[in-house]
Amino acid sequence: MSQIISITSIASVSPLGNDPKIIWENYLNDEHLFIQKKFGDQVAFASVLDEASKEQVALLKQSDIKYKSLDNSVLFAMTASREAIRKANWTKEDLFGINIGSSRGATELFEKHFLEYIETGKAQTLASPTTTLGNISSWIAHDLQSEGPEVSHSITCSTALHALLNGVAWLRAGMVDKFLVGGSEAPLTPFTIAQMKAMKIYAKEEQEYPCRAFDLEKKQNSMVLGEGASVCCLEIGESENALAHIIGIGYATEILEHNISISAEAECFKKSMAMALKDTSIEEVDVIVMHAPGTLKGDSSEHKAIQHIFGESLPLLTTNKWKIGHTFGASGMLSIEMALLMMEHNRFIDVPFIPKQNSNRAIKTVLINAVGFGGNAVSILLRKCSVFSRSHSFQCLW
CA 194, distance to chain mean position in Å, is 23
Give Cα 264 to chain centroid, integer Å.
24
- State how many domains the chain has: 1
pTM equals 0.95
Give the 3-state secondary structure of the chain: CCCCEEEEEEEEEECCECCHHHHHHHHHCCCCCCEEEEECCEEEEEECCCHHHHHHHHHHHHCCHHHHHCCHHHHHHHHHHHHHHHHHCCCCCCCEEEEEECCCCCHHHHHHHHHHHHHHCCCCCCCCCCCCCCHHHHHHHHHHCCCCCEECCCECECHHHHHHHHHHHHHHCCCCCEEEEEEEECCCCHHHHHHHHHCCCECCCCCCCCCCCCCCCCCCCCECEECEEEEEEEEECCCCCCCEEEEEEEEEECCCCCCCCCCCCCHHHHHHHHHHCCCCCHHHCCEEECCCCCCHHHHHHHHHHHHHHHCCCCCEEECCHHHHCECHHHHHHHHHHHHHHHHHHCCCCCCCCCCCCCCCCCCCEEEEEEEECCCEEEEEEEEEEEECCCCCCEEECC
Contact between 16 and 242 (Cβ < 8 Å): no
The CATH number for 266's domain is 3.40.47.10
Question: By the 8 A CB rule, do 158 and 378 touch?
Answer: yes
* Residue 193 φ/ψ, nearest 5 degrees: -60, -40
Which range of residues forms the domain containing residue 383? 5-396
> Measured between alpha carbons, how far is 376 from 338 in angstroms, rounded to an integer?
22
Check residue 339 and give left, alpha or beta (phi > 0: left; psi -120 to 50: alpha): alpha
Q: Divide the 398 residues of the chain into consecutive groups of 10 and give the mean pLDDT of each group.
A: 86 98 98 96 96 98 96 98 97 93 95 94 92 89 95 94 98 96 98 95 92 97 98 94 96 73 80 97 98 95 97 96 98 98 97 91 96 90 67 34
**What pLDDT score does 390 carry?**
27
Of the candidates 332, 269, 329, which has an alpha carbon nearest to the alpha carbon of residue 298? 269
pLDDT at 21: 97
pLDDT at 262: 66
Beta-bridge partners for 13:
229
| Predicted pLDDT at 270 | 96
